Amino acid sequence: MLPLYVTSGEPAGIGPDICLSLAARIDERPIVVLADMEMLKKRAEILNQNITLIEYQGQVESSLQGQLYVEHVPLNAEVVLGELNAQNSAYVLEQLRRSADYAMRAKSVGVATAPVHKAVINDAGIPFSGHTEYYQEFAGVERVVMMLATKTLRVALVTTHLALRDVPDAITAQRLHQVIDILLHDLKTKFKIAQPHILVCGLNPHAGEDGYLGREEIEVINPVLERYRAQGLRLSLSLPADTLFTPDHLKDADAVLAMYHDQGLPVLKSQGFGEAINITLGLPFIRTSVDHGTALSLAGTGLAKSSSLQVAVDLALDLARH
């Protein structure tokens, strides 16, 4: 049975801590953490956790409770808890490279990712804008879609890590078509929703208020949505984001499409921070992730919560069964 790989992320943060929590699981397939073996051993000792780390060599059965499969990725420099070190940026990227390579070559069912620190990777002279963009480039796909989810809400994004002043120019008819096509496809194929119902946020306050507060809804967004609606697909026209996220609107929705990062994600994270997950749609493999950062100050303290990683692994395994 093919494994699910889990990247341990930034070694000075809580990624290794929450990955160690996976030893408590019993799953139908192997879960393999990509990390430096000695670093994980030391972290388990610091956290006073009695965990047996097993070198993964292609085992097809799940590890026993209290055991954790690890594929060794060597560190470049010693880790000091809570202190970023650009020398270990290549170590972090090697985790991503291996996880993507295994998924693309059908040597795994996919990957779940612990957090990385974008700034320290860039400080090492390596251009890096995030997991999502890295996997997109590795897979060679033109467009991917970031979607975050809790147990009751899914929010996909038209634009992701852009400065706010650049967002309106990035929302084009072509981009909207690409994003909506991917969202519809993956909701149907990966989540088994036969006829997805999607609510779409407007870009401007009050969805432009008939052009008085901006014309993007009239000139770009709604014409695209009308084409999908004419095909019988269940997409709303652009709705004011300040009222869209209310129980009456959301009760029958399968997903919300937000125009930019901080339009939809604050609402979602206020509902389920620490238990929300990130799913990259449009990749030829499964990729889920935690919804939080590296939390450097919590590394090795025992205070880091692993709930988001646990849910990310749960979803990845569930999607693999599909």
| Six-digit token string for 259 | 């125009």
Q: Which residues contact 232 (CB under 8 A, 6 or more apart)?
A: none
State the pLDDT at residue 270. 86
Q: Where are the alpha helices (DSSP H) in the chain?
A: 15-20, 37-46, 89-104, 118-123, 131-139, 167-170, 173-189, 216, 222-230, 241-244, 247-250, 261-272, 307-321
CA dist., res. 89 & res. 321, Å (int): 33
Single out the residue of 34, 37, 36, 47 nearest to residue 97, CA to CA: 34
State the pLDDT at residue 122. 95
Q: What is the pTM of this model?
A: 0.89
Torsion of CA 110, 114, 120, 121, to 10 degrees: 0
- If asked whether residues 209 and 322 sit together in one domain, one would say no
Q: How far apart, in Å, do the first and last CA atoms of the chain sit?
A: 15
- If asked whether residues 176 and 277 sit together in one domain, one would say yes
* Pair 254, 195: CB distance under 8 Å: no
Rounded to 5 degrees, what angle do the CA atoms 84, 163, 178 make? 105
- If asked whether residues 148 and 259 sit together in one domain, one would say yes
- If asked whether residues 228 and 306 sit together in one domain, one would say no
Single out the residue of 159, 239, 247, 150 nearest to residue 202, CA to CA: 239
- If asked whether residues 166 and 274 sit together in one domain, one would say yes
State the pLDDT at residue 230. 98
- If asked whether residues 296 and 229 sit together in one domain, one would say no
Q: Which domain CATH number covers 205?
A: 3.40.718.10
CA dist., res. 196 & res. 182, Å (int): 12
User: How is the chain split among helix, strand and coil, in percent rounded to 5?
Assistant: 40, 20, 40
- If asked whether residues 222 and 244 sit together in one domain, one would say yes
Q: How large is the C-alpha radius of gyration of the chain?
A: 20
Q: Which amino acid is at 99?
A: S
Q: DSSP 3-state assignment of 285?
A: coil
State the pLDDT at residue 161. 82
Q: DSSP 3-state assignment of 105?
A: coil
The pLDDT profile of the chain, 322 residues, written as one tens digit per residue, is 899 999 999 999 999 999 999 999 999 999 999 999 999 999 999 999 999 999 999 999 999 999 999 999 999 999 999 999 999 999 999 999 999 999 999 999 999 999 999 999 999 999 998 898 999 999 999 999 999 998 889 999 999 888 999 999 999 999 999 999 999 999 999 999 999 999 999 999 999 999 999 999 999 999 999 999 999 999 999 999 999 999 999 999 999 999 999 999 899 888 776 678 999 999 999 999 998 899 999 999 999 999 999 999 999 999 998 7
User: Sheet harboring 255-258: ordered strands across?
Assistant: 52-55, 67-72, 31-35, 4-7, 110-113, 286-290, 277-281, 145-149, 154-157, 255-258, 197-201, 234-239
CA dist., res. 84 & res. 79, Å (int): 8
Torsion of CA 94, 15, 267, 204, to 10 degrees: -30
What total number of domains does the chain contain?
2
- If asked whether residues 94 and 15 sit together in one domain, one would say yes
Q: Where are the alpha helices (DSSP H) in 190-232?
A: 216, 222-230
- If asked whether residues 70 and 175 sit together in one domain, one would say no
* Pair 113, 252: CB distance under 8 Å: no
- If asked whether residues 177 and 236 sit together in one domain, one would say yes
- If asked whether residues 265 and 131 sit together in one domain, one would say no
State the pLDDT at residue 212. 94
- If asked whether residues 200 and 252 sit together in one domain, one would say yes
178-192 core/surface letters (b: 16 or more CB in 10 A; e: else)? bbbebbbebbeebbe
DSSP letter assigned to residue 210: T
State the pLDDT at residue 13. 97
State the pLDDT at residue 79. 97
State the pLDDT at residue 175. 97
Q: Which domain holds residue 7?
A: 1-141+284-322
| Six-digit token string for 282 | 């449009």
